[in-house]
Structure formats: C-alpha cells, structure tokens
Structure 1
Amino acid sequence: MNPSPKRVGPLVVLALLLAGLSWPAPVRAQSQPWSLTNAQRQAFLRYYAPVIFKRANANDGRHGYDWLTNFDFDQDGDFSNNKLHWKQIPQFVDASRTGPSAFDRWRVRPTLYTSMIEYMDGGKNLVLVYHLYHALDKNAAGDYQLHDWERVEMQVKNVVGNPGSGESVAYAVVTQHKRNVVRQQGSTDLNFMQTPTGSHLLIWQAEWSDKLLAAHGQELRFVTEPYSFFAGRMASGGKAEADVNNDDGRKKLHYVFVPEDSAAAVAAFNAQPVRYANADAQASRYDNGTSANWPAVKRVTYELQDIADIVPTHWEFGGYATHWLPDAPESFFLESPVLNEAGQAEVSTGMQRFFSKTRDIENEDDREGYPAKKWFFGTFELNSNASDTGGGGSNAFHDNAWASTVVDSRGRTRASASGYSTSPNAWWWQHDYFVHSGAVDSSDGVEQGFWLPGAWYLGSNGGFDGRWVQLFDDRPGVESGVR
C-alpha cells in the first residue's frame, strides 16, 4: 500500500506563495542535475586550451614540418596520403613566396581536436581532451609514422556556470608516446597562463623527428616554470627555452602555438595564423640543437575542432576504406547518434562497426585512430613520470575493462556500470567512460577512479558525451582564422 500524500490547507499554501515572493533566487544545489549549453561547452574548451611551446627540427629543408595542422590540410578528403603530402610542406612554404601555385589550395590550419565529458558527481565536473594533430612524426627507431596522437587532458571540478567562476583543475595528463603522465592540482609542474580570456596550461612539445634516449617524435611534457618567466624573456628578447618535467636542463623552443579564441593570449604573444600568404614568415628554420632568442620564435595561432568530426570517417558506412584499413573493427552499441554542429545525425544508432587501423599510402604504418585509443574510453594507465627509455602505457587495465574483470573504486565493472551484461569481450557501449581520480596505482591492471554509471550522459542527468557530438563550426575550405 502506497502512503497517501499529506494535504496542506489552502491558506497555508497562499501564505507560502506570498512569502516566496520576497525570498532571494535559490542557489543551484550542487547535487541537482543541470547541464551546460553548447555555447558554454565551447567556452570551457576555449578557456582551458593549452599554450604549446615547441622545439623544431626545421633546418636542411624541413621548414614547416613542426606545424600543427588538420586531417584534411591538403583538401583532398583522403587521410591515407597525409604523411606523403606533409613531406611536401617545405615546397608549400617556398611556393608561397612567389604567389599562386599548386599548393595555394592547401589549408594548414593548425588544429587541436577536442571532446568534453560532462557529468554529475557531487557537483558538475568535466573531462577536457585536446588532441594535437600532426600529419607525421618519427619514432625512436627513425621510422616515419602517419598521424600523431599526443593529447592533453584535464579534469575540471566544481563547475557552476561559465568558465572562470571558481572551478578548478584537479589534474592534467599529457601523452608521452605510450605513457600517460599525470600531475595533480598543487603540483609545481602545473603552470597556467592566466588571462581575462582563459587559463591556459603551459605545455612543451618535442620536434617531429627521432632522437635516441631523449624527447622526440612530438611527445609532450609539462612546463615547470611560471608564465612570468616567459613574459620576462619575451620582453628582454632573451633565450627561448623551457624547463620541463622529468628532464635536466631547459629545453629549446622555436614555436609557440596559441589558441586563436583567447584574445588576451594572442595579444600577449602577438601570434598570427598560418596562411598561404604568410607561410614563409611563420616557418622556423632552426635545428633542434640550435637555440633561438625570443624575437626569432614563431608565434602561431591554432583552432579547436571536434574529435567527433573524425569519428564518422571510421564508421563502416562512412567511407572508412579511404582512410582506414579493413582490419580488426571495433563494435560499438550506439544509443545516441553522432551529431554534427546542426544537430543532424551523421552515424545512426544501433550496433555499429568502426575501423581504426591507419591506411598509409606509403605502406609504412598501421597506427590506430580514435575508436581504438585507450584515452578515448579513459582506460589508460596513469604514470607518475616521463621516461626516455620507454615503458609505461600498459594495456592491462584496458584489457580488464574490455573483459569487465576488475572493479572500479566504487565496486563496479564496466558492464555493471552500464547495465549491459553481454558487453564484456564483445562490444563497447558508446558511453563507456572511466573517470580517473588522478592518483597513480602501482597495481598492474588496476586504476583509481570509477565508471560513469547508467544514463549519466543524458541532459536530464546533467551529462554530455562530447566524443559523439560536434560543437565547433568546420568552416570548410577557408584559411586559418577566417570566420
């Protein structure tokens, strides 16, 4: 028998209504589900977009190799030849000095591909991911590789509205090849450029080329000096260098990549977009062993786009064979379609297959794209330190997550959190996501954190899964910075 609701007399109701007219507007309860707007989601991704100091290896006819770019810089709709065509970027730069050419249709457009996980857990929290796209790099063995996959990740806690309203960065993670190096709030290795338009984590990136037992191949490190150090060096025209985590001595830098939507950061560095008309002026010629003073550093703006722009290219019905190999597909159960910026479906719901292995027209590489990345699911191993001798990046936790054989810090497996008991060793639920606590666990195959449970991703539950939703206007065919 259900209990009957208590009745309240009409005079009492009237008194409460009248009294309510003089009460202040209620403060949103932190535990009550609520959602950001898409405009606010864009604003958070812009506000926390990193500033990237980069060492170059640009002498000997390799000028331009170290630029960030985008998956379709050559405007041919084919990712399989990106490495081959990026080797021609010096010709692009050289041709730009003399006017129109076969290269003037290229759009370098330095880009970070982003996603946001928004969820409620005692308040509103975010996981922000920034993938720094490079068309090629070299591994320690000296082999060219297609598509670089280094990323920056941040957990932002206690969000109450617009960015810069009292929330905090609980931890940040950077990719060092297969390692996922973490620094928690309060670490002296976490340094931000604080401006009226953003709080930008300072990151250092190695050059594209190989280097034995040293930082190489676009790997990322935390910058361990405050922004004031760089502001002082810029003002004096001093040496351009940065101290970084787990390494001795300051590292050279020849580029700074600055988020184009942070007007204050752009102004502080006097950063400029890379366009065909100014490509020569924006390309460094410095060798990785040669120091530059700040007047010689190239200051380049970058834009934000969506990981969800690229996800449909992996889909079995999305023309995947142009970009990816037909090997080892990943199966996903989609409850939600992949949505473009207009809210239209680009990938339908249901059980879907995605192909991740890289198709390389030069037949030199078989790296894997987003649907196979451990950081796409949060199933990566956290590491305390970077290493020049390899190691780290164990698959054990990812494999345990796939099999649902290990519980999280709240006693749930992947399958029990999602409610899909048939998913272990068979398929991914598209909204499977493991939120790390930021603590490093030395136990092999175990990480501290929890699986987001059930329908966490619904707006009614205060959630948003930005891995499958496009937020930023693609602006096809235009030059960098053009609106």
Structure 2
Amino acid sequence: MSIGSQRWMRALIAAGGLWLALFAASAQAQVWSLSKPQRQAYLRYYAPIILHRADENNGKIGRDWISNFDFDRDGNFSNNRNNWMQTPQYIQAGGNPNSAYANWRIRPTLYTALIEYMEGGSKSLVLLYHVYHASDKNGDAIHDWERIEIHVRGVAGTPGTLGEYVSNTATTLHTEHIVRVYSDYTDLNFMQTATGRHLMVWQADENGGWPNEREHEIHYVQNPYSWISGRVAMGSAKAEVDITDDDDKKNVHYVFVPEDSSAAVAGWNARPLAYATAASQYSGRDSGDGVNWSGVPRVTYELQDLADLHRSSWQGAYWQQNWTADVTDDILLESPILDESGGVEVPAGLHRFYLGSRDAYKSSQTDGREGFAHKKWFWGSYSAERNSEITYSSDDCGGFAGLCLDSFGWSRGAVSGRYDSHGNYWWQHDYFAHTGQINSSEHYEAGQWLGANWYRAEYGGFDGRWVQLFDDRPNDQPIAPLVLRLYLPDDRCTDELWVTATAVGGQVPYSFSWTDAIAYSPANYTPNSAIVPSYALALVTLTSADGQVRSQYVYHEPDCGGGLGGVLQ
C-alpha cells in the first residue's frame, strides 16, 4: 500500500471512529426513563377489555367474576378455592353488615408489571396483565393464571403519542402462548378512546370440559369495536363475538373494564362490584345461554402489582401458609423487593421461592399448579405460537436450562455473564423480549434476551416485575373487628404446651407478641406459635395494622388424667 493510500485509510478510520463516537454520544443523550406516574399511565392506557363467558347456572352465581388474591380478607390464599365456592351466599347476603361475608372485598383485579428498555435511541415497553380467578375447572382447582402481554414501541412518554404503536401481543391459552403482530388487523381490535387504547379479548368460563373453549383460556376478539358498540347500542342484539381459533361466535356474559379509563367506563356504563349491589351484578348464565347485550353486567376492575405477591412465597416469610415445596425457584435478586413506602420486603441475594399452589381443602394440599414467578411468561421464556396446537405439542424454549437462543444466538447466561445460572437459578433481570415473529426451531425464539445492564436507570431501563407501582388501597377495604383465636393440642400431659394463635379481621400485616412463653414464630407470621412452660401464665397480644389490639392468657398445668391441662383465661 502506498504512503498516500495508508494516509487515506488512517483518515477513513479516524473519521469512522469520530462518527461512532458521535453516534454513541447521540444514543447516550437519548437514554431516558419514565417516571412512576408515566408508568402507571401506560399500564392504565393499554389495559384490556375482557369480554367474558360465564358458567353460573346450577347454584354457581358469581363464580366467573374476576377477583383479587385476598378477596376474603383473611390473608390466607390456601383457602381461596373453598371460600370462592361461597359467592352465592355472598350475593344472597345482600349487603348485610352482620353477615360472615361483610368483610369480603372482591375487587376484580389485574396484576400488572411494566418492563422498560431502550432499543438504540428508541424506548420500548412490555406491559403484563395477569387475570386472576380464585378457582378453575368447575371449582376443582385453585388459582387460575392467565396473562395478556402487550409490547409497545416508539414510546415518547405520553401514552398514545403519534409514532407509538403496539408491535406485538401474547395471550395465554393453557400451556401455549398465542401471539399477534401489529399487521394482524383482523385479530387485534382495540377500543380506542380519549383515555385509552384497550385490546379486546374474550375469556372462557371455568368449565373444564372438551371440546368447547374452557378453563378461562383467552382468545383475541375478531370484531372491531365499532361493530360491537353498534350491537350494544341496539340493546336487543345478542351478546356474542368472533374469536381466534374458532369459526363460531361465542357468547358474552360479562364485560370487565379498567376503572381508570373514564371514557371506557362511560362507554360500557360499567360500575364497581360492591357487596351491597352484587345481587344485580352477576350473570347467572350457563355457557350455552344466549343473552342480549342489555342483560350483560359491566364491571370495572383495578390494577395492582405482580410484585405484591413475591414475599408470600419467599423462604424468609411464612410461605407454608400459601404455597408448597412441590415447586421451587431460586432467584438471584440484584436489588431488594420493596413495598410501596420503600420498606424492604425481600433483601438482595440468592433466595428460594416456594411456588406450589397450596389448597388447604384438598387431601393432597395442592392441585399441582404453580405461582406466576414459575411461569415461562414471567421471564419471557416461552415458545411463541400463532395458533393453538390442540395436542399441546409445541417446540420448547428452554430458557432456564440456558438452551433458548435469541435472534442474535445468545442465551440468557451469555447476555448476563452468569453462565452458572443455567439450570440452577434465575437472575432477577433475566427477560426475553419477543418480537412476535415465529421461529419454529426448537430452542430458538425471535427477539432478544435483554442485556446485562438493561434495567438500570442510566441505561433507560426499568424492571417492574419486582416493583410495586400501585397503592394497595387499604382505605377502600372494609375493616372488620379483629379476632384472636388460640388452638391447643389435645394431649396436655406434657411439661410444655404448644400453642398456636391466628387472627381474623383487622388489617394485615399482623404482629404477635408473647409474654412468659417461648415464641417459636417471627412476630409477623400468621398463624403464630409459642411454647408455654408448666405452671406459667402466658400472655399473647395481637396487633393489626389498623391499630386494633387483642390479648388472651394461657395457663398450662400438666394433666395426664384426661382433663384440661391448658386453661384459657
């Protein structure tokens, strides 16, 4: 190469380096983060409209309402299925303040999370909406888990800004993840209002039988909102819609509408589900019953956070009340999980989470299901499908094992640098962002494992799966009188008496303290246990978060003659 050529090449390289530096500086200048109110606004703006079929004849009224995890206000998830079977009694109570159901607050809820990341100089979002039902399979299973996933690109900070668009979506259909992209105009239909752009989906009832759609599975609605609203305006038109994976129209018996979209609420004339008015807000229809739009209850739902529930399954909390050890996940937390006020709920570090669904009213204590932190969609580690494969035979992603490769050929460990995580633990910020395209090869998916520092504010990221954005709204919940209950063993011919205290009513969390007894449980565990020595007069004091206090004495005198050795004072 001549000297002149060498000079020209060096000049070209220098110019290229300058261009790269300028590009990097430009990209860095565009890195920015949404505020907490903006994140809330996006989740509200894109919250879906759920057109729901019911199976509520034969004494099952109210069973297809969407709910929240603590609808019965006892702080115990393991009895949710059993208690949810009592919705007919809740309705029949008619708002009676002296009823056993006066403390219930069903509050139809979608549990949400927002994932925010940069793609070059452009911001993208993944919005997760978890639809919760307290029972499934004709009341034989506990905790139904369905999700709606919406990817938004071209985000500018204000929902609905020109240039922002929904690029792809995914819905849960049992073990499959059905995706659509922005060009699927037939299947992606939105209710567009001044306060939101709401994807319309249809959800099946809890019925578990073939061949009809079943067990709360979710499908895309194939009719535009203009057509549906025209039918609704008629009043006498039959309430039904076309859905994906089916050639026939499907009945609609409920409409669930996001409460924070005022235009959507007004458009559907929806209202909150309330104890006093529940008798006028249930469907009572069988899945095969046709009903006119004028006879369809329209109920609002609220948004809460997926992160609300992590502590309940954490190894350092009283996970045994709500979950089993049948399913566990080890998760390396880069940062702690905080509550809404900034208090640490789960500290940073490698922790085990117990995620088997506990059902206190089954002999096996479980129905074999898992909590959402074990679900593939929670990590984005799922195989994207265009249509349901009835045999459930779909290609696998294998994200936990480190087998799932993205469009760039990277595994999650290769992106994070934590190769030792493959098959051993999840890193807190592992996430696969799908594009909505289909790659039918096993262990390959279209999209990307997000880079090692993607979640940091200085890189324009935010991982909302571990953050509580929405207030728990304790002031909206009726607070029942606090009740302290003590349980003693039948065998009291012992030097030490094992006593268990539980709480009902009040406002969680509870705090227990023991005097002249050996506390066995941490103060914030429910139920709470202690050992009372012989001839001791022990005192247990219970305090609820709303300030109510209850105390009770326990006296233990060993008795081997069949009498009462432990006497409650």
- Output the TM-score relative to the length of structure 2: 0.76
Q: Is the 8 A contact 1:31 1:120 kept in 2?
A: no
AA of the residue aligned to 2:368 = D
Query: Deviations 1:131-175 (Å, cap 9, x if unpaired)?
Result: 00000110xxx6721101111001100101111113110011111
- In structure 1, the gaps of 5 or more residues are 1-27
Q: Which residue is 1:417 aligned to?
A: 415
With over 3 angstroms needed to count, the CA separation of the structure-2 counterparts of 1:159 and 1:30, relative to structure 1, is: farther
Deviation of the 1:33 alpha carbon:
1.2
Q: Which residue is 1:158 aligned to?
A: 154
Distance 2:446 2:269 in 1: 42
Moved more, 321-330 or 280-289: 321-330
AA of the residue aligned to 1:253 = V
Q: Which residue is 1:379 aligned to?
A: 381
Aligned ranges for residues 438-453 of structure 1 at < 5 Å? 438-453=436-451
AA of the residue aligned to 1:283 = Y
Distance 2:64 2:102 in 1: 19
SS of equivalent to 1:326: strand
Query: Deviations 1:342-367 (Å, cap 9, x if unpaired)?
Result: 22221100111111111111225020
Match of 1:144 among 118, 135, 140: 140
With over 3 angstroms needed to count, the CA separation of the structure-2 counterparts of 1:328 and 1:299, relative to structure 1, is: closer
With over 3 angstroms needed to count, the CA separation of the structure-2 counterparts of 1:74 and 1:97, relative to structure 1, is: closer
Q: Is the 8 A contact 2:95 2:102 kept in 1?
A: no
Deviation of the 1:445 alpha carbon:
2.3
Q: Is the 8 A contact 1:178 1:392 kept in 2?
A: no
Query: Deviations 1:425-476 (Å, cap 9, x if unpaired)?
Result: 2111100001112111111222111110111101111000001000000013
Q: Is the 8 A contact 2:259 2:302 kept in 1?
A: yes
| Residue 290 (structure 2) pairs with residue 284 (structure 1) | no
Q: Which residue is 2:558 aligned to?
A: none
AA of the residue aligned to 1:179 = E
SS of equivalent to 2:299: strand
AA of the residue aligned to 2:147 = R
Q: Which residue is 1:428 aligned to?
A: 426
AA of the residue aligned to 1:186 = S
Distance 1:193 1:57 in 2: 26
Larger Rg: 2
Deviation of the 1:330 alpha carbon:
1.0
Query: Deviations 1:275-324 (Å, cap 9, x if unpaired)?
Result: 10111111111111111101110000000000000111111012211110
Q: Is the 8 A contact 1:44 1:163 kept in 2?
A: yes
Q: Which residue is 1:8 aligned to?
A: none
Q: Which residue is 1:63 aligned to?
A: 61
Q: Which residue is 1:349 aligned to?
A: 348
Deviation of the 1:393 alpha carbon:
5.5
Q: Which residue is 2:316 aligned to?
A: 317
With over 3 angstroms needed to count, the CA separation of the structure-2 counterparts of 1:49 and 1:30, relative to structure 1, is: farther
SS of equivalent to 1:80: coil
Deviation of the 1:386 alpha carbon:
2.7
Structure having the higher strand fraction is 2
Deviation of the 1:99 alpha carbon:
5.5
Q: Is the 8 A contact 2:139 2:206 kept in 1?
A: no
Q: Which residue is 1:6 aligned to?
A: none
Deviation of the 1:199 alpha carbon:
0.2
With over 3 angstroms needed to count, the CA separation of the structure-2 counterparts of 1:420 and 1:97, relative to structure 1, is: closer
Q: Which residue is 1:126 aligned to?
A: 125
Match of 1:44 among 42, 45, 54: 42
Q: Which residue is 2:210 aligned to?
A: 212
Aligned ranges for residues 328-407 of structure 1 at < 5 Å? 328-363=327-362, 365-387=367-389, 389-392=390-393, 396-397=396-397, 399=398, 401-407=399-405
Distance 1:226 1:479 in 2: 37
| Residue 181 (structure 2) pairs with residue 184 (structure 1) | yes
Query: Deviations 1:93-128 (Å, cap 9, x if unpaired)?
Result: 111265541101100000000011100012100000
Q: Which residue is 2:231 aligned to?
A: 233
Distance 2:292 2:403 in 1: 53
SS of equivalent to 2:422: coil
Structure having greater relative contact order (Cα 8 Å, sep ≥ 6): 1
Q: Which residue is 2:458 aligned to?
A: 460
Distance 1:390 1:97 in 2: 46
Q: CA RMSD in A?
A: 1.6
Query: Deviations 1:60-100 (Å, cap 9, x if unpaired)?
Result: 11110000000000000010010000001111011126554
SS of equivalent to 2:433: strand
With over 3 angstroms needed to count, the CA separation of the structure-2 counterparts of 1:130 and 1:30, relative to structure 1, is: farther
Q: Which residue is 2:199 aligned to?
A: 201
SS of equivalent to 1:127: strand
Q: Which residue is 1:261 aligned to?
A: 260
AA of the residue aligned to 2:321 = T
Distance 1:44 1:472 in 2: 13
Q: Which residue is 1:174 aligned to?
A: 171
Distance 1:259 1:282 in 2: 16
Distance 1:156 1:189 in 2: 17
With over 3 angstroms needed to count, the CA separation of the structure-2 counterparts of 1:328 and 1:219, relative to structure 1, is: closer
Deviation of the 1:208 alpha carbon:
1.2
SS of equivalent to 1:411: coil
Deviation of the 1:479 alpha carbon:
4.7
| Residue 72 (structure 2) pairs with residue 74 (structure 1) | yes
Q: Which residue is 2:296 aligned to?
A: 297
With over 3 angstroms needed to count, the CA separation of the structure-2 counterparts of 1:264 and 1:143, relative to structure 1, is: closer
Distance 1:285 1:426 in 2: 47
AA of the residue aligned to 2:411 = T
Moved more, 405-414 or 255-264: 405-414
Query: Deviations 1:1-53 (Å, cap 9, x if unpaired)?
Result: xxxxxxxxxxxxxxxxxxxxxxxxxxx96972110001100000000000000
Match of 1:116 among 99, 114, 117: 114
Deviation of the 1:422 alpha carbon:
1.7
With over 3 angstroms needed to count, the CA separation of the structure-2 counterparts of 1:251 and 1:406, relative to structure 1, is: closer
Equivalenced residues, count:
446
Distance 1:325 1:406 in 2: 28
Distance 1:477 1:133 in 2: 22
Q: Is the 8 A contact 1:383 1:392 kept in 2?
A: no
AA of the residue aligned to 1:381 = S
- In structure 2, the gaps of 5 or more residues are 1-25, 479-569
Q: Is the 8 A contact 1:458 1:464 kept in 2?
A: yes
Q: Is the 8 A contact 2:403 2:443 kept in 1?
A: no
AA of the residue aligned to 2:328 = P
Q: Is the 8 A contact 2:132 2:145 kept in 1?
A: yes
SS of equivalent to 1:303: strand
Identity %: 49
- Output the TM-score relative to the length of structure 1: 0.90
Distance 1:244 1:405 in 2: 34
